[in-house]
A and B are shown apart, each in its own frame.
Chain A
Amino acid sequence: MIEVEGLTKRYGDKTAVDGLSFVVEPGVVTGFLGPNGAGKSTTMRVIAGLDRPDSGTVRVNGKHYPYAAAPMAELGILLDARSVHPGLSARNNLLALARTAGIGRRRVDEVIELAGLGEVTGTRAGGFSLGMGQRLGVAAALLGQPQTVVLDEPVNGLDPDGVRWIRLLLKSLAAEGRTVFVSSHLMSEMAQTATQLVVLGRGRLITESSVQDFVDQAAAGAVLVRTPDTARLGQVLAAPGVTVTSDGTDLLRVSGATAEQIGTAAWRAHLPVYELTPAHASLEEAFMQVTQDSVEYHAGATR
């Protein structure tokens, strides 16, 4: 479990994270979303004790991480920037970390196999592709079988096979009862992997909800209608609180009215309807909508 409370972190004049509070529960995969510069990486660095917050507290599994007796049992972390030594082999990078917690060579070999690095264990990490480096970083995060796993953009640079590996890995870690907190810009991937979300904009919490609720809220009330006479249906539906948008084809997007209301109105006006679909926004659409609002809101509020 990760508990972030009133976290504020400034770098010079720039406030990277501002009064952020959220909780990441064990047993599920929690996605961490936000536009570039929203403060995701900063938050993750503070969770790992690498950066010191200006105010607020962060607890990992109920404890203050920098004072954990067995840190690698508590938290495994993959940061966005590379954090391996290019002059050391994959194996020695992992072994050096393993030694600090008394983890044996067998576990090191195990995570090497798990990450699909079996054929390059002796190769110096400096020659790794982005994807290979990413696999090594994930292997390092898993080394201590930590109770909480924090991964910043784990699928960055991975091939489709690697993306699938991460998806299954995150789910199985959560199923084992571990806390899994993962950021990504690939919304379709996040939609398949995460069940909970923490969404950040400009260093502040926008929302903390399940993926389902997040998507439902964003899509609330929108219905797609296909009809040959879009102009007339638009007139028929015109009412306070109802907006009808057309993309120039025979498809209308109606919000503020239910599918039942639209179908009945069309039937009364003797208008044929070929399709009537309550719109389900994708996670990506929901994300764009919500973060767009947040950006505008903050820009307005600070002036």
Chain B
Amino acid sequence: MRRGSTALPAALAALAVSATLGAAVAELARIEVVLARDRRAATAALLATDACLAEAIAGIAPGWDLAALLAGPDGRSGTPDDGSLALPAGCIGGASAAPGPAAPPRILLRLEASAGGGRRRLEAVIGRATAPGPPALLWLAAPPAWSAVAGTVTLDGADVDDPTAATWAGLAAPDDAAGLDDWLAGEGTHIRLGAGTGPALTSAPPPVAALAARVRAAAPAGSEVLVPGTPSTALALVAGDLGVTGSLRGAGLLFVDGILDIHGALDFTGVVIVSGGVRVAAGGSLTVSGALWVDAPGPEVVVDGSVVLRQSQGGIEAADRLLPLPRRAALLGLRDLG
């Protein structure tokens, strides 16, 4: 009898089958790993493109149209920099005019971003938000100064007329949102936040100079619209500082091209825009149902008295009807290009 005549072939056959199976499992695992890696790269690139788009939109200054973006950094159309804009690292792209009618204002933004070994491209339609300004009660052109509030500031982001309306932030300024919240918290009991007040927002400064030009061109009234009794809704411009010593009320849009200096009481429904800063002396009070927008070379808001800011969509809409207010840039749609 010849021993081993069948054992060796059987062992070899088993080894071959096992090796084939093992190789198949390994190949399957390899394919799944490659697929997972590709998916991860595609997802990372998609997220990077979305992040780039979000930053690009956040970087567009509030305004009325998007012509400045199409003209590029030099502000002149027909030059090589048309449509170029500052984008975050790892992201390239540019703006171009959207097809169709000029209104509503909108542009096309093409972006390409790379991340995690992947690359994605998209085209977005950018326009202006339907609501004016940022959804914030106090919009500042610079981060607030510490210890600017010796009195009290009450910020209530809930709408005075519609409790179901989306709440507003207390503060918007061109600074890190967490830093703004830190400032609000750091003022301690001097700043009271209503239950419906949202966290602070990062925002570009209010376009106060452009607003001043538009207000002047709209034949505004003067400070006479501020009255002790029931006010009429009006567009008002005060050229220079406005001192309030009595108890006055107003409604609509009030532009103070100087310092708003309050020793008495001012109760306004709508939007108050101040180019020189707000000073509320001890014993004075400023109440705005709507929004307060301030751009000043020095400290923007110094409060020794009392300031109360409440959301009022009705007040904002009334002001917007008197004079179209600036809007933030908004994403109107996108499509992935690959």
Are A and B subunits of one complex? no
Point out residues on B near A: beta carbons under 8 Å: none
- Spell out A's residues near B (CB within 8 Å): none
